[in-house]
Amino acid sequence: MKKKNKKLKYLVLSVSLLATTAFAIPLGAAVAANYTVQEGDCLWTVANKFEASIESIKSASNLNSDLLHVGQSLTIPETTAGQTSTPPDSAYRASGDSFKYTVNAGDCLWLIANRFGTSTEVLIAANNLASEQLQPGQTLLVPANSSSYQQVSRGNVTRPEIQPVSSEAEAGELIDWSLINSLFPIGSNATLLDCETGSKFRIHHLFGTNHADCEPLTAEDASIMKECFGGAWSWERRAAILLLDDRAIACSMAGMPHGTSQDIYDNDFDGMFDLHFLNSRTHGTDRVDEAHQSMVHQAAGL
């Protein structure tokens, strides 16, 4: 009789453990991977990359908000049925008119602007926004046209010639990010000097609200840039100097191609790279990156 009770006790314990495990892991949410948040990431980009829903990532990673931090570890569940999906772009801009867009969890202003081929400045002005912070369910007006409208090019772009640089620069000027777009306008080209190796390559200013998103101008320029990072693309920050026709500006570059927008498609570089200046911020965190700022000061000889 004691042996039967003992077996029954083990049986009850086993069933209890199975039940606990079953309730602890949501159905259909088996862990597929762990992901470390990179600069420029937000929940929308991570969810899109792994074809998962924002809600499933937040649940699996025990997130209480949509804010992410560089280096943060996320749990990516396997794709499950019944996930919420974002309507296709054509559902919004079918006629080319202005339309209203409802902010989804994980959205950020830069992503919405990039998705619909406009700029964050246009969205801020059209919606009288006091900041770039958005809330799920918030309604945004996306204007059809404006003088500030930024059309995202898909390869058919005219690239102006770069003016020759008159002299080599040993150190760059410390210029605040708020002034950079007037000196290095979106759509223009320049030369970037890597401070450590002395290598130079040409770049194209694609866009950017918190910092400059750029592309190597040609495949040769991409190859030179890659060698600056030891032959492998990396999120490493490197001190650099932006060489314009009459200015040399201290900056910091990261060597990782990312994003889905680009003007140039024959440069062996899929996407864009980050170029930071004094007081510039990341898109994902909307905060100053201390590692980039350290490299900017190093490029200025400080």
Domains 2-77 and 177-299 share a fold: no
Q: What is the Cα–Cα distance from 226 to 209, expressed in whole angstroms? A: 25
Q: What is the Cα–Cα distance from 175 to 251, expressed in whole angstroms? A: 9
Who has greater pLDDT, 267 or 18?
267
pLDDT tens column, 111-160: 787 777 777 777 877 777 777 777 888 888 887 654 333 333 333 334 44
Backbone angles phi, psi at 46, to 5 degrees: -65, -45
Q: What is the Cα–Cα distance from 274 to 283, expressed in whole angstroms? A: 10
Side chain identity at residue 170, one-letter code: E
Backbone angles phi, psi at 285, to 5 degrees: -105, -15
* CATH, range 2-77: 3.10.350.10
**Under a CB-based contact definition with an 8 Å cutoff, are residues 200 and 193 in contact?**
yes
Per-domain boundaries in the chain? 2-77, 89-142, 177-299
CATH class of domain segment(s) 177-299: mainly beta
Residue with tokens 């024959």: 266
What is the helix (H) or strand (E) element at residue 178, kind and residue range? helix 177-183
pTM above 0.75, yes or no: no
What are the C-alpha distances in Å from 208 to residues 13, 77, 238? 58, 31, 19
- For 208, residues 6+ apart whose C-beta sits below 8 A from its C-beta are 186, 214, 275, 283
Residue with tokens 């996930």: 83
Backbone angles phi, psi at 141, to 5 degrees: -90, 125
What are the C-alpha distances in Å from 151 to residues 115, 129, 261? 10, 21, 11
pLDDT above 60: residue 82: no
CATH of 89-142, one of 3.40.640.10, 3.50.50.60, 3.90.1150.10, 3.10.350.10: 3.10.350.10
Beta bridge partners of 191: 202, 243
Q: Classify 86 in phi/psi space as left (phi over 0), alpha (psi -120 to 50) or beta.
A: beta
Q: What is the mean pLDDT of the chain?
A: 75
Q: What is the Cα–Cα distance from 252 to 243, expressed in whole angstroms? A: 13
**Under a CB-based contact definition with an 8 Å cutoff, are residues 179 and 255 in contact?**
no
Q: What is the pLDDT of residue 191?
A: 95
Residue with tokens 């406009």: 118
Q: Is 268 exposed, middle or buried (0-12, 13-18, 19+ CB in 10 A)?
A: middle
Q: What is the Cα–Cα distance from 17 to 97, expressed in whole angstroms? A: 58
pLDDT tens column, 86-110: 455 545 544 456 788 888 876 777 7
Q: What is the pLDDT of residue 225?
A: 96
Q: What is the Cα–Cα distance from 49 to 254, expressed in whole angstroms? A: 20
**Can you tell me the mean pLDDT for 62-79?**
80
Q: What is the pLDDT of residue 168?
A: 54
Side chain identity at residue 142, one-letter code: V
Q: What is the pLDDT of residue 97?
A: 65
Q: What is the pLDDT of residue 79?
A: 55
Helix/strand/coil for 173: strand
**Can you tell me the mean pLDDT for 234-239?**
94
